[in-house]
Chains A and B, each alone.
Chain A
Amino acid sequence: MSRVSASLLPKTFRDWFKSRGWKPREHQLDLLAKAGQGRSVLLVAPTGAGKTLAGFLPSLVELAERGPSRGTAKDRRGLHTLYISPLKALATDVARNLEIPVAEMALPIRVETRTGDTPSHKRARQIERPPDILLTTPEQLALLLAHAEAQEFFKDLRRVVLDELHSLVTSKRGDLLSLGLARLMMIAPQATAVGLSATVREPDDLRRYLVPQRAANTSPLRGEVAPQVREGVGNATSPNVAVPPHPGALTRSDPPPQGEGEERLADLVVVQGGAQPDIRMLDLDERLPLAGHTASLSMPAIYDLIRSHKTTLVFVNTRLQAEYTFQELWKLNDDNLAIALHHGSLDVSQRRRVEEAMAAGRLKAVVCTATLDLGIDWGDVDLVVNVGAPKGASRIMQRIGRSNHRMDEPSEAYLVPANRFEILECRAALDAVHEAAQDTPDARIGALDVLCQHILGMACAGPFDLADLYEEVRSAAPYAGLTWEDFEACVAFVATGGYALRAYERFAKIVKGNDGLWRVRDARVAQQYRLNVGTIVESSMIKVRLGKSMRSRPGTVLPRGRILGEIEEYFAETLTPGDTFLFAGEVLRFEGISEDEVLATRAGAGTDPMIPSYEGGKFPLSTFLAARVRAILADPFEWDRLPPQMTEWLLQQRRRSIVPGQRDLLVETFPRSNRFYMTCFPFEGRLAHQTLGMLLTRRLERAKLKPLGFVANDYGIAVYASGDIAGRAAREPGFLDELFSEDMLGDDLEDWLAESSLMKRTFRQCAVIAGLIERRFPGEKKTGRQVTISTDLVYDVLRKHEPDHVLLRAARADAATGLLDVRRLGMMLERIRGRIIHKPLDRVSPLSVSVMLEIGRERVYSDNADEILAEAEAALLDEALA
């Protein structure tokens, strides 16, 4: 194909490539050829393969050939190419890079960005006079599509470029984008989509995402009802609903439209990764601890690596780890190397400074979290160090890809385990990298709350026909299986809340007119939509300000210092004055909350942070790596490949207890200082384990075994009780099978969900996305008690009166994979059915020590209000008696 396609490249372009000392790459020419044939394409390529240029090349060529617009009203052209990126910064970055060929070849092409920062006069002008290429984000696309001028703006669209598609499709933003894409293809059936992606497990999921899907099940409207409903619908662009269902399929003649056959898939172009990465585990002579995530022993070795390389990226999993690692490296930094810190909670200006210094090559190393996971170009990184557990094979490969942006040279990377379990995880990840095995998540089923938001947006754009919109929505891959009932429920929700008690008809936000079309009631509703668009519901953040202690009045702290950054409000809520925590590279002492800020002072030198962790980028261990870890554990021959300290430890475990088989669940019980402990190791990640712990304690409570609490980590949980669990298990055969039986996901789960704070948080997110309540903006003052409404109260009332309401269903679907990870817990319970191995012990085993060490380090979980209150009441009593 490449020789043929090379001729597609005009001379100007060939000369330009030559002038830069480049040759067009094969996949770049492939994409050019595909564009000529009107095909949508998924391009899978490793970092450094020139993906972005490949995506834009066809547009640049086409635009160069069509020549400049005369700019007269008659000659008004719509947008030619739309580029969507998950990050505002990436869109800006790509625009800058795109300007280079445009300027150097003097192409008559106008490239513009549109983000939240674009001033309103520029936005208005963009609508009036669209650029040739527009770079933006999924949220801005949603806003554009809800605009009354959307039809005019997009009608000439030829190409949509979706960057970092693998990361977009895994979240609700991907759902929103898929719906936007469906609308784009409806307005501009001639357009094709190009997806740019890192390597993924199931490229077909992404190929489906890029092209309009045939509806998976037949609409009840089609056939009998539909023709009547559709009569008098004067929408010229809408196709006949009967065969074939999608508009795109009707307008193309030659070559045959994509997916006319069984499966509707975009074409696939794969660029094979270059050299095998040079990746290894950092092997220390010293013994690693059994728990903890700080990797303190490895810091000197990491420092040496930084010193001997040009630029190093040190990836960590949580902000806490970032803070800690940064501090430790500076303690060792006798050479005064330029080592910087970058994570999402730091003040934006501080982050920008780090990014600029990095791009300019002024930094020796950056300690960073997932905020640097995505493809912004950071200059010449020649080493990646990943501290802590890799958590997922694909994640680690994408991180490694950040080093050596020239794809034909091997990237160099080190995995640094922080505890013994992480050695197992690193081993499993190394194996996966060598086999190039991927564990990116499954394709999503489109969320209903996102659909609700989209429906309102479409009503803002103009009147819509219900059946048309249903067909359009189902052409988006995540919504291909959407039932008519669910769709109707979402429309009803948007209109009046969709409650069985039809109390709000007269307040409806969208109404059906005499022409059978639905439209927004008034401009205020459209305004409301614009303020609430998007699927990212930030948990409220609160600024952290450095305070100054008054020397004259000890104990008085004035808010006189600078802002250090932001932390989650719910983290701040759990702090009490005097608590110390790590933030912005320092140990801070929490002084209190003044106005809308956390006030903190620098803790004295040598103070250890008391509050162990705040959430922020905790990834669960992927199912795939977990299975590999279990396999390594189960097979003693595999142990040879582990460092000796690990093998020794596993042999000890085998002597004292047992090492479980790959599909077994080992449950150990043992007494310890007047308490009875039960530990188990499902390896399903912290979130699923938290849920398991909550449900197990409920069941133990009912069994009158008086559970006192539990702790969880990524590998297992430890439950402690004042009742003898082992004794009960000995007296009642089958007790443990019963305890771990799958029916805990029935009533027990339901009962817990009624009061679970995690579930309420999940519900809140759905309520905001669906538009039930208005978004609160960061920095906006908390308004009076009458103006705001707590979604917790709404949750309680709705759950009681309409447990099957569409919003609760949306929240439950989220809970299955999100904060509660119920789905994974369910898979685990099914796997271990009949395979529980109980080992009663007289003391803690080597394996159990690791999770026991989390006690006191991690929070003890509880949603039981009375327990907390009783403790607070008792504290008062103690005070009185003291």
Chain B
Amino acid sequence: MTALQKNKQTTHEIELKGQLALLDLTGAMYLPAHDALLVADLHFEKGSSFARRGMMLPPYDTRETLLALSDAVFRFNPKTVIALGDSFHDIGGPERLGTEERTTLTQVQQGRDWIWVTGNHDRILPDSIGGQVVEEMALGSLTLRHEPMAGEQVEVAGHLHPVGKVVMRGRSTRRRCFLTDGSRCVMPALGAYAGGLNACDAAFKPLFANGFTAHLIGTERIFAIAKSMLCRD
């Protein structure tokens, strides 16, 4: 059984410049043409980063993020995994990684090409973290980078942590989402403690001159929501 068939139930198809992309409930994106899995903004060790400053957040965020990551990786079993930057919350993050978490990460990396795109939080990554470190890269016609570039682009990026908020008859929900106009896609943050920026924020405006569709991650499936249906915080 191919990854495509296996994940038919939980994924949601979109097209990026004629290329099929599968959006996953975890917040990952699978590109069948390249057998590549994309994830963004893992923010490993955000909890311990806050603890250093006296906010003792539960130290389980890295575990939780790894759980989602390995879930997606083992289901799609891709040849290549690309993390689109801010994989660690700060430069000291890799060093603070617990032994158990380190082992899990190695297991997930095993047997595939692993590429870390650097982000503003993790400009430098130690060799010991495994895989290859790049600033940006091309995958077919797509450019993969951390921070979306202004102007017309055919790219997949992260950095902005989009979330969409929907209000229907007094009830509201705020969920992580993929934003795309068919040529660019901004991915949601996968990190357990990575918060979100409302898709109505001005930061998204220059990226999507002709609007976008938001693909909101629900509990059981992903929903395509028109920009006009989204609300500000």
Contacts and interface: CB of A to CB of B under 8 A. Distances in A.
A536 to B, nearest CB: 20
B25 to A, nearest CB: 11
Interface string B141-172: 00000000000000000000100011111111
A569 to B, nearest CB: 8
A-B pairs, 9 with minimum CB distance: A497-B56, A503-B59, A869-B223, A801-B60, A865-B173, A859-B170, A876-B226, A866-B218, A798-B58
A865 B64 CA distance: 21
A228 interface: no
Interface stretch (B72-80, B129-137, B193-201): B193-201
Contacts of A786: 89, 121, 195
B3 interface: no
A499 B57 CA distance: 9
Contacts of B229: 872, 875-876
Given A865-B218, A869-B166, A499 B55 contact: no
B88 to A, nearest CB: 12
A504 B221 contact: no
Contact of A785 (B51, B197, B218): B197
Contacts of B167: 573-574, 576
A462 to B, nearest CB: 19
Nearest to A508: B56
B54 A866 contact: no
B84 interface: no
Contacts of B56: 493, 496-499, 504, 507, 509, 772
A99 B218 CA distance: 63
Given A499-B59, A797-B60, A869-B216, A860 B195 contact: no
A875 B121 CA distance: 39
12 contacts: A499-B58, A501-B98, A525-B54, A786-B89, A793-B193, A793-B194, A797-B61, A868-B172, A871-B168, A873-B225, A876-B226, A876-B229
Interface string A760-792: 000000000000111000000000011011100
A504 B63 contact: no
B48 interface: yes
A870 interface: yes
Nearest to A796: B192
Nearest to B120: A786
Interface string B109-138: 000000000000100000000000000000
A278 B195 CA distance: 57
Nearest to B224: A873
Nearest to B226: A876
B221 A866 contact: yes
Interface in B180-229: 192-197, 216, 218-221, 223-226, 229
A503 B218 contact: no
A774 B55 contact: yes
A748 interface: no
Given A509-B54, A790-B196, A865-B173, 8 more contacts: A501-B59, A576-B167, A772-B55, A772-B56, A785-B196, A797-B192, A801-B60, A802-B58
Contact of B48 (A503, A772, A785, A860): A503
Contacts of A272: none
A789 B50 contact: yes
A121 interface: no
A507 B54 contact: yes
B59 A789 contact: no
A553 interface: no
B231 A773 contact: no
Contacts of B231: 573, 576
A528 interface: yes
A865 B56 CA distance: 29
B63 A801 contact: yes
A82 B52 CA distance: 38
B180 to A, nearest CB: 15
Given A793-B195, A873-B225, A868 B59 contact: no
A573 B226 CA distance: 18
A798 B63 CA distance: 12
A528 B56 CA distance: 13
B193 A872 contact: no
B233 interface: yes
B102 interface: no
A785 B233 CA distance: 13
A456 to B, nearest CB: 10
Contact of A794 (B58, B89, B197): B58
Contacts of A499: 56, 58-60
A497 B226 contact: no
A872 B195 contact: no
Contacts, number: 146
A862 interface: yes
Contacts of B193: 789, 793-794, 797
A117 interface: no
Nearest to A774: B55
A786 B225 CA distance: 26
Contacts of A501: 59-60, 98
A796 B63 CA distance: 13
Contact of B195 (A790, A861, A866, A871): A790
Contacts of A794: 57-58, 193
A503 B196 contact: no
B140 to A, nearest CB: 30
B232 interface: yes
B172 A789 contact: no
Contacts of B195: 785-786, 788-790, 793
Contacts of A788: 195
A800 B60 contact: yes
Q: Among the interface residues A499, A593, A790, A872, which one has the most CB atoms of the partner chain B within 10 A?
A: A872
B172 A573 contact: yes
A524 interface: yes
Nearest to A788: B195
Contact of B161 (A498, A774, A785, A866): A785
B58 A860 contact: no
B61 A866 contact: no
A501 to B, nearest CB: 5
A872 B170 contact: no
A865 to B, nearest CB: 4
Contacts of B98: 501, 503
Nearest to B43: A786
Interface in A489-523: 493, 496-499, 501, 503-504, 507, 509
Nearest to B193: A793
Contacts of B194: 785, 793
A866 B173 CA distance: 9
Contacts of A870: 218, 223
A869 B214 CA distance: 11
Contacts of A602: none
A794 B226 CA distance: 29
A879 interface: yes
A805 interface: yes
A610 to B, nearest CB: 11
Given A797-B64, A875-B229, A859 B171 contact: yes
A504 B50 CA distance: 10
A504 to B, nearest CB: 4
Contacts of A574: 167, 170-172
Contact of A497 (B58, B63, B223): B58
A788 B61 CA distance: 15
Given A509-B54, A773-B55, A860 B169 contact: yes
A15 to B, nearest CB: 58
Nearest to A528: B54
Interface string A90-102: 0000000000000
A707 to B, nearest CB: 15
B170 A860 contact: yes
B82 to A, nearest CB: 22
A800 B219 contact: no
Contact of B219 (A507, A802, A866, A871): A866
Nearest to A493: B56
Contacts of B172: 573-574, 868
